[in-house]
C-alpha cells in the first residue's frame, strides 16, 4: 500500500469512527410513532375488525387533500376517503387506513419497505383465543421471543396483507423495553422495515435521524422464511434502533434473495403498510430531501402541526410531524 493509500485509509477509518461517535452521542431526532398507515381496499373491513378485535375506536373519517397526496408522492390518492383509529389506551397513536385499490402481486413479507406494525398488548394468549374465527390470517401462534423469553407474541395478517405483531411483556414491566399497554390493547411501539441492504439502511437512518442502531445479527425467522420460500432454518439479518421515547423502535429486517421490489400502481401509495409517521421536535433540524416542502395539513392527526414526507433507501415513505410548542416527548409510559 502506498503512502497516499495509507493516508486515505486512515482518513476513511477516522471519518467512520467520528460519525459513529456523533450518532451515539446525539439524542434521536425521531421521538415516537404517531401514525401507521395502511393502503386499504375496504375501509369498512378495517373499521369493523380492528374495532372488534383490537378495541380500536374511530377518531376521524375524512378525505385526503390534493396537497397531502402530493406530499406523499401519491397524487392518485387525492380525494380518497381515509379512516383514523386508535385505542383508548393511546388515543393519539393512530392507525390510518386510506382507500386504495389492491395491487396485483403484493404479498406480505416478500418485498422491501414497511412490512409490519407491532402493537403492545396485555395478554397475547387471551387475545389469540378471542380471535379464533376472525378474518385475520394467523402466521405465528403465541410463543416467547428467543432472545428475551419474557416477551411473548403472535402474528396475523390483515385484509390488505398488512402484518401485525401482537406482543406483551410477561415479566417485570417496570424494567421492560416494552411500553406498558395500559389496557387490553396498547399502542404501536415498533414498525418493521425490510431493507435490501440492512447495513446501509441502518447507517442511512443513523446519519439522518441520529438513531443509535443495535448490532446487526442473523437468525432464522420462520414467518419470513416461509413467505419467501426458503428453508425455515436459514438465518436472515435483523437489527433495531431506538427512538427518543421509551418503547419506540424501528426493526430492520434483511430478506432473502427471493425478496422483490414492492409492486406499486402509478400515483398510488405502496400496498400493505404504506407509510410510517414519526413525531419530531423540529423539521428544520432534519436534513433530508422532502417530496414537497413542509405544510400544515388539515385533520386530527396533524392538529395544525407542520409535516413533510421523505423516502428512505428502499423507497419507504417516512412522514415527519413536528411537535407543537410545549408538547411533551413522552406521550405514554
77-95 average pLDDT score: 98
Lowest mean pLDDT among 47-61, 109-123, 289-303, 313-327: 313-327
Please say if the pLDDT value at position 267 is more than 80: yes
**CA distances, 92 to each of 56, 127, 146, 179 (Å):** 12, 22, 31, 15
Question: How many domains in the chain?
Answer: 1
Question: Pseudo-torsion of CA 191, 195, 197, 200, nearest 10°?
Answer: -30
Calpha distance 157→163 (Å, rounded): 4
Tell me whether residue 8 is in a domain.
no
pLDDT category of residue 8 using cuts at 50, 70 and 90: very low
Which CATH number goes with the domain that contains 82?
3.10.180.10
**pLDDT tens-digit readout, 222-248:** 999 999 999 999 999 999 999 999 999
Per-residue model confidence (pLDDT) at position 325: 80
Tell me whether residue 94 is in a domain.
yes
Please tell me the pTM assigned to this model. Answer: 0.91
φ/ψ region of 24 (left if φ > 0, alpha if ψ in -120 to 50, else beta) reads: alpha
Please say if the pLDDT value at position 7 is more than 90: no
φ/ψ region of 322 (left if φ > 0, alpha if ψ in -120 to 50, else beta) reads: beta
Tell me whether residue 16 is in a domain.
no
Tell me whether residue 17 is in a domain.
no
Bridge partners, residue 193, by sequence:
114, 252
Please say if the pLDDT value at position 31 is more than 50: yes
User: pLDDT averaged over the chain?
Assistant: 92
Per-residue model confidence (pLDDT) at position 82: 98
**pLDDT tens-digit readout, 101-149:** 999 999 999 999 999 999 999 999 999 999 999 999 999 999 999 889 9
Tell me whether residue 308 is in a domain.
yes
Calpha distance 23→328 (Å, rounded): 23
Q: Which of 330, 333, 332, 310 is nearest to 320 (CA)?
A: 310
Tell me whether residue 20 is in a domain.
no
Tell me whether residue 304 is in a domain.
yes
12-36 average pLDDT score: 65
Tell me whether residue 18 is in a domain.
no
Per-residue model confidence (pLDDT) at position 326: 62
Domain that holds residue 235: 30-322
Please say if the pLDDT value at position 6 is more than 50: no
Amino acid at each position: 500500500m502506498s503512502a497516499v493509500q495509507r493516508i486515505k485509509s486512515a482518513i476513511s477509518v477516522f471519518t467512520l469512527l467520528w460519525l459513529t461517535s456523533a450518532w451515539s452521542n446525539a439524542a434521536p431526532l425521531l421521538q415516537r410513532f404517531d401514525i401507521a398507515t395502511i393502503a386499504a381496499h375496504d375501509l369498512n373491513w378495517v373499521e369493523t375488525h380492528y374495532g372488534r378485535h383490537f378495541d380500536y375506536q374511530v377518531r376521524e373519517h375524512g378525505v385526503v387533500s390534493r396537497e397531502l397526496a402530493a406530499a406523499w408522492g401519491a397524487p392518485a390518492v387525492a380525494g380518497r376517503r381515509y379512516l383514523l383509529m386508535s385505542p383508548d389506551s393511546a388515543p393519539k397513536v393512530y392507525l390510518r387506513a386510506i382507500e386504495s385499490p389492491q395491487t396485483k402481486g403484493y404479498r406480505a413479507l416478500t418485498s422491501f419497505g414497511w412490512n409490519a406494525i407491532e402493537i403492545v398488548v396485555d395478554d397475547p394468549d387471551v387475545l389469540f383465543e378471542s380471535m379464533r374465527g376472525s378474518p385475520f390470517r394467523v402466521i405465528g401462534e403465541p410463543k416467547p421471543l428467543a432472545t428475551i423469553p419474557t416477551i411473548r407474541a403472535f402474528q396475523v395478517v390483515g385484509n390488505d396483507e398488512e402484518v401485525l405483531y401482537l406482543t406483551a411483556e410477561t415479566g417485570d414491566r417496570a424494567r421492560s423495553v416494552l411500553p406498558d399497554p395500559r389496557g387490553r390493547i396498547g399502542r404501536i411501539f415498533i414498525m418493521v422495515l425490510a431493507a435490501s441492504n440492512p447495513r446501509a439502511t441502518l447507517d442511512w437512518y443513523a446519519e439522518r435521524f441520529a438513531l443509535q442502531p443495535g448490532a446487526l445479527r442473523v437468525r432464522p425467522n420462520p414467518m419470513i422464511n416461509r413467505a419467501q420460500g426458503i428453508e425455515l432454518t436459514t438465518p436472515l439479518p435483523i437489527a433495531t434502533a431506538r427512538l427518543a421515547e421509551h418503547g419506540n423502535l424501528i426493526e430492520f429486517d434483511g430478506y432473502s434473495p427471493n425478496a422483490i421490489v414492492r409492486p406499486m400502481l402509478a400515483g398510488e401509495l405502496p400496498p400493505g403498510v404504506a407509510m410510517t409517521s414519526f413525531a419530531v421536535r423540529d423539521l428544520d433540524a432534519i436534513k433530508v430531501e422532502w417530496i414537497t416542502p413542509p405544510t400544515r395539513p388539515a385533520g386530527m392527526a396533524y392538529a395544525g402541526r407542520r409535516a413533510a414526507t421523505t423516502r428512505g433507501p428502499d423507497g419507504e415513505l417516512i412522514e415527519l410531524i413536528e411537535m407543537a410548542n410545549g408538547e411533551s416527548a413522552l406521550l405514554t409510559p
